[in-house]
Amino acid sequence: MRRFIAYIEKDPETGFYVGVVPSVPGAHTQGETLEELMENLKEVLSLCLEEMGEEERESLPEFIGTIEVVA
């Protein structure tokens, strides 16, 4: 089983949590709670990976880390 990193933000207008897995095209969703968001992310990630071919899945980028940039 492969692990993926998701970025989570809270939408100030709706109060919903929004999550995206940047290394997988189309893997983004939302939820009213963090628990709902996690379930939705698992589901959308599964669907996106299912649509990809084996070669495409193997060529997904590897997550290295994050860095804070002050501008």
Q: What is the mean pLDDT of each run of 10 residues along the chain (71 residues)?
A: 92 97 96 98 96 93 90 94
The confidence score (pLDDT) of residue 2 equals: 83
| Separation of alpha carbons 4 and 69, rounded Å | 23
pTM reported for the whole predicted model: 0.84
pLDDT attached to residue 16: 98
Domains and CATH numbers, the chain: 7-58 (3.30.160.250)
- Identify which of 9, 18, 49, 13 has the alpha carbon closest to the alpha carbon of residue 36: 18
**How far apart are the C-alpha atoms of 24 and 58, rounded to whole Å?**
11
Distance CA 6, CA 37 (A): 11
